[in-house]
Each structure stands twice: as C-alpha cells, then as structure tokens.
Amino acid sequence: MLVGTLVYYLTLLFWRRRTLVFLDIACVNQVDEYAKSEALVSMGAFLKHSKTLVVLWDATFVKRLWCVFEMAGFLQSRGPDASRGLEVCPVFAGPALLSGTFGLCVMLLIFSSSQAVIVPWEFWGGLALCALTFPCLTCLAYVVLIHCRSIDVVQQQVRCFTIGNASSYCCASNHIDPSTGERMVCDRLIIERCIAAWFGSPEQFEETVRGKLLAHLVYQLANCTFPYWRVVQATSPALWFKLELYNPAFVVLFILETIVYWLLLLPSVALVMFRLIYCARNLCQSTFTQVLLSTGLVAVAALLFGAFFFAETMLLPQLIGDKHTSNWILLATMSMVTIALWRCMPPIHQSDSPQAAGQESP
C-alpha cells in the first residue's frame, strides 16, 4: 500500500509526457507586438493542424473572446468530426480527483497499518470503510454539485453571447501594458479580422458559438468530466490495498474480487452518483442545503456500496454455498451492469429551453 502510494505520487510529480503541445499563452509572443499579431493571424493553421484541443475550462471561459474564438475556430476547422479532437477539462477536476485519491490513500494506509481493524474484515470492516470515506466523499459530491449547476449557467451565458459583450485583456487594460506602461495592440481587432475570414461574418460566428460550440461544451462538461479510465485511475488505491491482502492460496478469488471492486463496482457507483447529482442540481439553492443534499447523496452511494458488500460477503455465499461460484456470478452481473451504464446510458445534452437552466449563478 505504502509502495503503491509512493510510486503513484512520484510518477505524478516527475514523469513528463513527450507529447508536443501548443500552449497559446506560452507559444504566442506576449512581448513583441508584431510577433503576437502574426501568431494571432496564423492561429487558424495551428488549430487546423492540431490533433486535439484541450480546453481548461472555468466559469469565465465563455466570457473571454479569445477563448471562445479558439474553440469555435477549432470546431469550424474540423467540420462534422469536431467532437473527436475536443477535450474540455474543468480546472476543478484535477484537484478534486487528486484530493479524492489522497483521501483514499490515507484511509487505506491507516487500514493496512492497523491489522486489528482488518482481522474482522468482512461485514463490519466494510461498514467502517464506508464511515471513514463519508466526509471526503461529501466534499467531492458538493464540488460536483456546483459543477453541475455551473453547466446551466454556461448555457445561459452562451445563449446570450455576442462579440461586443465578450471581454478581452487588451481592451480591459485600455491598451496600456500595466507592467511597462507601453501601448498594446488590440487583440480584438485582429480576432475580428480572423472571424470575418473564417466564418464569413460576425453574425455567423455568433451563431456557431450559440449552436455548435454550446452543444459540444455542454456535452463535454456533462458527460466527459469523469470518464471511466479517470475514475479507475483515481480509485487505484483500492487495487494497492487488495494487493496487500493478496494470498497465494486464493489467486482466482483475489483476481475476481479485484476486478469486481476496482474496475466494475467503483466506476459504476461513480457514474450513478454523477447522474443523481446532475438530476438533483437545482433542488437546493443555499450553500447549507446543498451541503446537506451532498451528504444525502453520499449516503445513497454508501447504501449502494453496502448493499453490494452484503450481497458479496453474506447473501450470495449463503444462497449458493460456494465463494468461487458466487464471485463468478457477481463478475458476470457487474460486467453487464457496468457496460450498460457506461456504454448504453443516454448522454446528457443541453436543455431545450433557457428556463430549464438554474435560477442563480454560483
């Protein structure tokens, strides 16, 4: 468990991906105004020759002309296959998953270093595990609830999007660089020239933003924030914990249990919980009631997990009489449930009417 935790965080800190990326703020010259103008005019070529556009999304994204322009330009350059290369990653997802994984690591480390707790590791051990994860999961559920509410706000904002209302740093600074006091070139003028060349007219650009861009943005935020493999990666401490309990005499049983819990049960519960949170996002308006709602939703998750644990450790072995057979049945059942949830459940799309969105901004 300790080795797994150390390897995980050392890899996270020191492993460097070798993928070539174009990070606009770093690759566009921010000092030389001529070079900056040239880069802005050439942005279409950069977008067209990029395999993927990763949008680090927060609530201010759709208010910034530069960001909206880049995303709309990418969608325009891809045509009907636009969704394939687009990845919208809310900035909260990284810290949320990291803190969730860290909480799980700490909790399971405490469990694995205290053998006395693990000895009665059947029913009561499972209940104790649920109780320990409760505060950590409540925080996570609350953050996801706020994220789901923000999807409604985004829809309201994008439906009212106009180039004139979108902000740009240069205009907000009156075209004077605050650090040097020198005059800045207006990005907006260059972007408007690019818009006229790529989209035909400002009206067509705004139509693309309010149509295609909104549809892709909502789809990504509502369905792709926590994909299957991201959930599996975040819950990897469950695998290390199982490895610590590995007994060579029960290899098949060990593999079955690990697959069922780590690859099937945890991702399925995570997806069900995300959908429940999304459905309940507008039930409560104040922070206090939202925290209460998050607690209730985590209680539902704990019930689901507890019911499964009861079926796995007590009900099925008693009914069938053989632990191996009951675990094979669980594997088959959970495989079908997981595939049905992750592959067949209809995705969330943008709401048809503006009234369906939330009543207040977060």
> In terms of CB distance, is 168 or 313 closer to Zn ion?
168
* 197 Cβ contact list (under 8 Å, min separation 6): 44
- CB of 182: closest distance to Zn ion in angstroms? 14
- CB of 73: closest distance to Zn ion in angstroms? 18
Residue ranges that bind Zn ion, judged by CB under 5 A: 170-171, 186, 188
> In terms of CB distance, is 123 or 169 closer to Zn ion?
169
> In terms of CB distance, is 139 or 170 closer to Zn ion?
170
- CB of 188: closest distance to Zn ion in angstroms? 4
- CB of 195: closest distance to Zn ion in angstroms? 14
53-57 and 86-90 as β-strands: parallel, antiparallel, unpaired?
A: parallel
- CB of 46: closest distance to Zn ion in angstroms? 21
Integer Cα distance of 190 and 163 in angstroms: 13
> In terms of CB distance, is 146 or 186 closer to Zn ion?
186
> In terms of CB distance, is 65 or 158 closer to Zn ion?
65
Neighbour-count burial of 118, counting CB atoms closer than 10 A to its CB (0-12 exposed, 13-18 middle, 19+ buried): middle
- CB of 191: closest distance to Zn ion in angstroms? 9
